[in-house]
Amino acid sequence: MRNPVVSTVRTQRIADRIQNEFSMMLIHEIADPRLSGVSVTDVTVDRELAYAEIYVSAVEGVQRSVEILAGLKHAQGFIRRELAHRINLRTFPRLRFHWDPTSEHAENIDRLIASLHDERSSGHTFSDLGNEVNGNE
């Protein structure tokens, strides 16, 4: 049995198509309440088209990640079958779902920047903070 290796451009096109179709399914067709408010942030497909890694997030953040990933795992067969009907491939990749922590990381960075800005606005400088830490006032 021959396992074709697909070009990088084609795998990216397939990944983009999976992301678009799955996003539309989440909005219009999947009624599982565990999957409400879920966004598909990225999809990658390996060169052999064996696996599609699907990254998701939600507005509520990581608090719902376990619930969302459980809902996706439960609906995995339906999702794969529907995507295979919409995207014409000889064999459709198996789906693996992952939580995308990017939004949480971005919030942490925003919080750090805001705290630095607040410290700077209060008249402290980085050298002042260093002096306070070292006991030199």
- Claim to verify: residue 93 and residue 126 sit in the same structural domain: no
Contacts of 19-28 with CB under 8 Å at 24 or more apart are 19/43, 19/54, 21/82, 21/83, 21/86, 21/87, 22/54, 22/79, 22/83, 25/79, 25/82, 25/83
68 in the same domain as 28: yes
Q: Which domain holds residue 123?
A: 102-137
Q: In whole angstroms, give the CA distance from residue 136 to residue 131.
A: 5
User: Residue 20 sits in a domain of what CATH number?
Assistant: 3.30.300.20
Residues 79 and 111 in one domain: no
Task: Identify whether 66 is part of a domain.
Answer: yes
pLDDT values of the chain reduced to their tens digit, one per residue, 137 residues: 444 566 899 999 999 999 999 999 999 999 899 999 999 999 999 999 999 999 999 988 888 999 999 999 999 999 999 999 999 999 999 999 999 987 665 666 767 777 776 777 776 555 554 554 455 54
Total domains, the chain: 2
Whole-model pTM over 0.95: no
Are 112 and 80 in the same domain?
no
- Let me know: does 90 contact 74? Beta carbons within 8 Å: no
